[in-house]
Amino acid sequence: MKIEFINHACYIVDTGKVRILCDPWLHGQAFDRGWEHLIETPVKINDLDYDYIWISHEHPDHFSVQDLNEIKGPQTIFYQETRDKKVKAFLESKGHRVIEMHDWESFILPDNSKITVTKVDDDSWFHITDGNESILNLNDCEVITDKDLEKIKSKLGSIDVLMTQFGFAMWIGNEGDATANSMSAMNILSRVTRQAEILKPRYVLPFASYIKFCHKDNVWMNQHQNKPWDVWVKPADTIIMEPMDKWSVGDKWSNRGKWKKAFNDLDTYTYEDDIVSFPTLLDEFDKYVGRIKDKNSWLAIRVLKFAGFLPPTSIYLVDNEVGIDFCIVNGIKVNRLSQLECDISMCSETFLNILKFEWGRGTLTVNGRFTANYYTMWKFFRQTKIAYANNVGKTVPLSLSLRELLYSYTPKWVKE
């Protein structure tokens, strides 16, 4: 089998007779102007030759609406089975055929090669074998326990190529917190090492991390990012591919240096915020609460509030220079707290993105455009949990459990 690397998490796997395009994000920024490609992709999606598409999950660096909208003609797309069917419905509205993949159930391709897709939370991994060679793409799935890795190994058998994320892809603590920043980066490398120790691939292909944090609020994180050459998992060989590289599994490979220049040039940012007026934020908050009322039991939410499970959170809007109390039941009120006294701080445009989109809270944790009080930030994440859960089809009280709602969101480095 062959791998044609396109960029970041996007590549084509070629069995010799069937070509599958995986996780197409070729152009544009992602996560509320928080990410962009480390190196620009030299081609567009319609320049690529493929028979199928596989999409791992809804994040825009894997599921790029901009790129998908450029596709000419209907395609057959593999996607994990989800509760809300939102991605499936979107793709079908564009004329594509969507094959929903059930956990551990294989799909036989026309050349008798076999693919398997299995969910991990809202993400999914992809395995393909032609009977002789096999490739496992874990991308950024949180597959971290020995038990989970051993289950994969026992079900899939011998793995030739392990493709896995090598860099952090979310908030790594506050700027200047060296302990948290370094721990976040090292945890990813430790995860790769453990994956390789248990799965025992012949090759490890680090990918899905070729991005730069490109906003004024998060550009500082680039200095802590792992590099693909930090992956050292002997006896497996590390294969570092650059955009448009092609590699046949088993062939010798010489890693080159294009990424080194790109990783050394990360101290500038592309975007910065516009200030959003307070009346605009209040108007968007009303719409935010209106959507919550439409999709959940408002009575159940009020009971949760009365029982003390939904305490208000304090948010400092840095560019507006004002602190607010935020509560989906009681509304937004200006307070007199300083930035250091609030649970979390961010710019008004970042806050607006949370209010406008149900996935906005998830975008925030990925782009890292905030500063938090490690001990009280859980209040913010609990207040915004219901809308975020609605994004994946969970509602109060039917499918969003109290245990999930009450998760503390206290960073690991604080617990330790």
**What's the CATH code of the domain at 312?**
3.30.1050
Query: Which runs of E-coded beta strand occur in 202-339?
Result: 203-207, 211-213, 237-238, 246-248, 313-317, 322-327, 331-335
In tens, the pLDDT along 343-396 reads: 999 999 999 999 999 999 999 999 999 999 999 999 999 999 999 999 999 999
Query: Sheet holding 371-372: strands in order across?
Result: 331-335, 322-327, 313-317, 344-346, 371-372
Strand partners, 215: 271
Per residue in 204-235, pLDDT (tens digit) is: 999 999 999 999 999 999 999 999 999 999 99
In a domain, 132, yes or no: yes
Other Cβ atoms less than 10 A from the Cβ of 260: the count is 13
| DSSP code at position 217 | T
The reply to whether 206 falls in a domain is yes
Q: Which of 239, 263, 287 is the last residue of a domain?
A: 263
Is residue 122 one of the residues assigned to a domain? yes
61: amino acid identity, one letter: D
Q: Return the structure tokens found at 132.
A: 């002789």
214 & 113 share domain:
yes
Task: Determine the Cα–Cα distance for residues 208 and 226; give it in Å rounded to an integer.
Answer: 12
Co-location of 32 and 162 in the same domain:
yes
Domain end marker among 263, 289, 324: 263
Answer yes or no: is pLDDT of 39 > 70: yes
**Statement to judge: residues 244 and 286 lie in one domain:** no
Q: pLDDT at residue 401 above 70?
A: yes
Summarize the confidence of residues 86-96 as an average pLDDT. 97
CATH of the domain at 39: 3.60.15.10
Question: In angstroms, rounded to a whole number, what is the distance separating the alpha carbons of residues 153 and 138?
Answer: 13
Are 144 and 174 in a shared domain? Answer: yes
Q: Are residues 38 and 177 in the same domain?
A: yes
Report the number of distinct structural domains present in the chain. 2
DSSP class of 25: -
Identify the band that residue 409 occupies on the pLDDT scale cut at 50, 70 and 90.
confident
Contact 149, 173 (CB under 8 A): no
- Is residue 382 situated within a structural domain? yes
Q: How many CB atoms lie within 10 A of CB 209?
A: 22
Phi, psi at 219, each rounded to 5°: -60, -25
Share of the chain above pLDDT 90, in %: 93
**Would you say residue 270 lies in a domain?**
no
* 272 in a structural domain: no
* Tens-digit pLDDT profile for residues 230-278: 999 999 999 999 999 999 999 999 887 889 989 988 888 999 988 999 9
Confidence band for 415, pLDDT divided at 50, 70 and 90:
low
User: 123 and 221 in one domain?
Assistant: yes
- Percent pLDDT > 70 in the chain is 100
Residue 242, sorted as left (phi over 0), alpha (psi -120 to 50) or beta, turns out to be beta
Domain boundary, last residue among 203, 232, 263: 263
The tokens describing 338, both together, are 């300083």
Q: pLDDT tens, 160-206?
A: 999 999 999 999 999 999 999 999 999 999 999 999 999 999 999 99
Report the pLDDT value the prediction gives residue 93, as an integer from 0 to 100: 97
Q: Cβ atoms within 10 A of the Cβ of 98, count?
A: 19
Question: Is residue 71 very low, low, confident or very high in pLDDT (cuts 50, 70, 90)?
Answer: very high
Of 274, 240, 1, 277, give the one whose Cα is nearest residue 131: 1
User: Has residue 269 been placed in a domain?
Assistant: no
Stretch 83-92: mean pLDDT: 95
Mean predicted lDDT score pLDDT of the chain:
96
Regarding whether 68 and 158 lie in a shared domain, the answer is yes
The number of residues making up the chain comes to 416
- One domain, residues 247 and 291: no
Per-residue pLDDT, 178: 94
Would the pLDDT of 416 be above 60?
Answer: no
Whether residue 283 is found in the same domain as residue 363: yes
Q: Residue 144: which pLDDT band, with cuts at 50, 70 and 90? A: confident
Query: 153 and 231, same structural domain?
Result: yes
Residue 332 confidence (pLDDT): 97
Domain that holds residue 316: 278-415
DSSP 8-state secondary structure symbol assigned to residue 146: H
220 with 76, same domain? yes
Q: Is residue 409 part of a domain?
A: yes
Are residue 48 and residue 188 in the same domain, yes or no?
yes
pLDDT band at 124 (very low <50, low <70, confident <90, very high): very high
* Radius of gyration for the chain, computed over Cα atoms and rounded to the nearest angstrom: 22
